[in-house]
Structure 1
Amino acid sequence: MNNMIEVQIDSVRVHLMTPNRLVVLKQVNEDRYLPIWVGPYEAEAITIALQEVEVSRPLTHDLLRNVFSAFNARVTRIEIVKLENDTYFGAIIAELNGKELKIDSRSSDAIALSVRAHVPIYVHPSVMEAASIIPEEEVAENAAPPPKAEPAPLSKEGVERLSVFENFLEKIDFDKPEDKDKPEDDTSDPPKKPKKK
């Protein structure tokens, strides 16, 4: 277990585009995260244990814990030992009659068991190096806002255009109520009837 990095379950997240879930492990005392894709059933098993939901009958990982207990074996820790072709390899470490047993396991099953057995999770440094995420530092709340850019001076042509627009706005009578019954162009004379020949 030399140099193994202890992590804790930070969250279980849903991916809206796929049925898979994401278990996010956080390094203890560090702002460093390891995301692991798991199936929906394994994610549900982890979530149920985290939320301490009571079930009427033992689920698969409850059964696994009960089997260890029935044979007087004690689960001591969980390890994520390898990452190969985007697949995480886990291991269940248990003690039986004073001997340490290392049992190959899917990482999702090992994590689900760790929640039920209340044992720590460790990750091999090479796995953390290859797949962990360190979030970017957030901008401090007290940081001064960036200086505002001074507006560029208008050219002579721009000033003339603004003057024309200003004159146009001054001629508009905003207080005059609109007569909806009149046509849009009510300034012209009504059309004259054609003269009979």
Structure 2
Amino acid sequence: MVEVYVGGVARDKNGNYILVLREPTSGNELPIWIGEYEAMAIDMELRRLKPQRPMTHDLLAEILRTLNIRMECAIITELRGDTYYALLLLQWGNDVYEIDSRPSDAVAIALRMGAPIYLSEELAKTLGMLPAKRDPQTERFLRLVGDIELPDW
């Protein structure tokens, strides 16, 4: 599996919402078109905005925590036609459950649960999203550059 993180939520030229997943070493991005409600739920969590009352993803995350169900990860598993599929991996006691999900819901819940997000190896290969291999010298340079703080413009 290839770990990705949420690069953000954007809108295309037609006003449709896009979830941007990014592979950290290569910087490759995977855009997934999502609904307005899901975009809002993901964006609010990224910006640490809390609604006055729990939204659906907040409610589900609270139920999981209350019942001591651990979210192992979210996995974007495949692309069929123009539709992406995902799974939630949940651990309850000694049992692990795979729950079918839309990618937007899987990501929204993973963010709330602090769970990692992955692409299946097969999907990552198909999309050209495998992590880039870097030599040690490049890694040292990137660590150095990463420590530079830019001024507040």
Matches within 5 A, 1:81-160: 81-132=77-128
More helix by share: 2
Please report the TM-score for the alignment, with normalisation by the length of structure 1.
0.62
Letter of the 1:80 counterpart: I
Match of residue 48 from structure 1: 44
Structure 2 distance, partners of 1:86, 1:117, is: 28
CA contact (8 A) 2:74 2:118 kept: yes
Structure 2 distance, partners of 1:28, 1:94, is: 24
Count of residues paired in the alignment? 130
How far apart are residue 31 of structure 1 and its match? 2.2
Over alpha carbons, which structure has the higher Rg?
A: 1
Structure 2 distance, partners of 1:128, 1:94, is: 22
Structure 2 distance, partners of 1:32, 1:129, is: 12
How far apart are residue 118 of structure 1 and its match? 1.1
CA contact (8 A) 2:23 2:129 kept: no
Gaps of 5+ in 1: 135-197
How far apart are residue 98 of structure 1 and its match? 1.6
Match of residue 16 from structure 1: 13
CA contact (8 A) 2:76 2:85 kept: yes
User: Which runs of at least 4 in structure 1 moved beyond 6 Å after TM superposition?
Assistant: none
Letter of the 2:81 counterpart: N
SS, match of residue 48 in structure 2:
coil
1:69-96 CA-to-partner distances (Å, cap 9, x unmatched) read 2222111111001110111101111110
Structure 2 distance, partners of 1:44, 1:129, is: 30
1:153-174 CA-to-partner distances (Å, cap 9, x unmatched) read xxxxxxxxxxxxxxxxxxxxxx
**Percent identical across equivalent pairs?**
34
Gaps of 5+ in 2: 131-153
Please report the TM-score for the alignment, with normalisation by the length of structure 2.
0.79
1:37-87 CA-to-partner distances (Å, cap 9, x unmatched) read 111110000000000002111000001111212222111111001110111
How far apart are residue 133 of structure 1 and its match? 6.8
What is the RMSD of the two structures over their aligned residues, measured on CA atoms? Answer: 1.6
Higher relative CO (Cα under 8 Å, sequence separation at least 6) belongs to: 2
SS, match of residue 3 in structure 2:
strand
More strand by share: 2
Structure 2 distance, partners of 1:11, 1:65, is: 20
CA contact (8 A) 2:22 2:29 kept: yes
1:57 to 38, 53, 58: 53
How far apart are residue 97 of structure 1 and its match? 0.9
Does 1:25 pair with 2:13?
A: no
CA contact (8 A) 1:7 1:121 kept: yes
